[in-house]
Amino acid sequence: MRLVFIGPPGIGKGTYAKAISQKYGIPHISTGDIFREEIARGTELGQRVKYYVERGLLVPDEIVVEVVKKVLQSPMCSKGFILDGFPRTLKQAEELDKITKIDLVFLFEAPLEVIVERVSGRLVCPKCGAIYHIKWRPPKTPGICDVCGTPLIRRKDDEPEVVRERYRIYKETFAPIIEYYRRKGLLVEIDSSRDANVVIADIERVLKEKGLTK
Ligand code: AMP
């Protein structure tokens, strides 16, 4: 089950990916998460991508493709994977086709205002990556991760004004990629203005319909 998830920042993609990843035992591979982690750990890769990530600029294709290729060819991806945040350029999409065959591409959509409301209340755990929402998915103890007890943070790029700008950039960046997969007949559009559990059930229904799960 080799999947690509596409959607604007804040749509809930991370939450859907985690649920599907757990249910079917395939890894959720977010290039953004990989880069943030490498930067936090101060690795060589982290140092190479820091400049771009901190400015919201695209990391050069050669670097991203090299990272993704390594991950996808590792044993952890033998049953499949969910790619999140990759591909982000046509070049990356073409390179991905050389690495492996993609089964399905989910495109998550919702009006911008729905996204802004979701995102401004979002909290994440800097240690284990768990995601919360002040209103809809509050942690048991305010501000503390249920899973590992680490104080939660609001990602800098979850600020409303940053979200609007990133939405604009998302639309621009992903238009050719969405077209690319639409033409290949791999694109499945999912209305994500609904509750996360409804969206997740919808993804599962599609996976079953397409014969990717039993
Ligand atoms: P994200 O969490 O997906 O928004 O990614 C955070 C940042 O990591 C982006 O703003 C880029 O700087 C970088 N990044 C993540 N994925 C890619 C990609 N596929 N191509 C280029 N840069 C990326």
Q: 108 pLDDT exceeds 80?
A: yes
Q: Strand locations in 121-210, DSSP E?
A: 122-124, 131-133, 187-191
Q: What is the pTM of this model?
A: 0.85
Measured CA to CA, the distance from residue 145 to residue 35 in angstroms comes to 22
Q: 157 pLDDT exceeds 80?
A: no
Closest residue (by CA) to atom 19 of ligand 1?
86
Measured CA to CA, the distance from residue 130 to residue 125 in angstroms comes to 5
Residue 43 Cα to ligand 1 midpoint, Å, equals 17
Helix axes 112-120, 160-184, angle to 10 degrees: 130
Test site for ligand 1: of 45, 62, 88, most ligand atoms within 8 A of the Cβ: 88
Per-residue pLDDT reduced to its tens digit, 172-197: 999 999 999 999 999 999 999 999 99
Test site for ligand 1: of 31, 49, 52, most ligand atoms within 8 A of the Cβ: 31
pLDDT (0 to 100) of residue 120 = 87
pLDDT band at 1 (very low <50, low <70, confident <90, very high): very high
Closest residue (by CA) to atom 1 of ligand 1?
32
* 170-196 per-residue burial string, b: 16 or more CB within 10 A, e: under 16: beeebeebbebbeeeebbbebebbeeb
Atom of ligand 1 nearest to the CA of 35: 8
Residues with CB under 6 A from ligand 1: 9, 31-32, 35, 52-53, 56-59, 64, 85-86, 88, 92
